[in-house]
Amino acid sequence: KVSIIMGSTSDLPVMEKAAKVLNDFKIPFEINALSAHRTPEQVEKFAKNAKENGIQAIIAGAGMAAHLPGVIAAMTSIPVIGVPIKASLDGMDALLSIAQMPPGIPVATVGINGAMNAGILAAQILAVGDENLQEAVIEFKEGLKEKIVKANEELSTVKYDYKTN
């Protein structure tokens, strides 16, 4: 099971892309709003009980001085995936606040607003010990190629005198 955490519901449009991916992979997941700064006790309770609640990977999104992923990672041994959310400075503040963790407490950081990739990464992590899921991940990656095939079809309709394909 995967847990998706966000600091406020304003992050939902971004973070929902992770939910969609997990749903497509048929991986059970929960979504919660928890704030490292507003509800530190809940964050602690959540992080410390995550393992015995069957959570295997945590996806945490936050913007600005984005402490949530790092704070959760400090309190659990479950892998934490951090999603820097673009709220100011084009998301650069969140990227640095999440990626630049000190030695000892890693956060698996994805790109700015990269919640879809966070979902895929969670699936890849769960797939380490799950052959079926691994198959599904491989299939998913195959599926990405179809978009390119389609893209090429679109491009074949672009017409120029000196275009040769």
Q: Scanning residues 26 to 85, which ones bind a second copy (CB under 8 A)?
A: 26-40, 42, 44, 51, 56-57, 63-65, 67, 70-71, 73-75, 77-79, 81
Nearer to a second copy, 9 or 49 (CB): 9
Q: Which of residues 82-111 bind a second copy (CB under 8 A)?
A: 86, 88-93, 95-111
- Count of residues in contact with a second copy, rule CB under 8 A: 101
* CA 157 and chain centroid, separation: 35
Q: Which of residues 114-133 bind a second copy (CB under 8 A)?
A: 114, 116-118, 120-121, 124-130
Q: Which of residues 2-21 bind a second copy (CB under 8 A)?
A: 7-9, 12, 16, 19-20
Look up tokens 């790092």; give the residue: 70
First to last CA, the chain: 47
**Smallest distance, Å, CB 49 to a second copy?**
14
Q: Is the dihedral of CA 45, 47, 49, 54 positive or negative?
A: positive
Name the region of 90 (left: φ>0; alpha: ψ -120 to 50; beta: rest).
Answer: left
Nearer to a second copy, 49 or 95 (CB): 95
Nearest to 66 by CA among 96, 108, 89, 102: 96
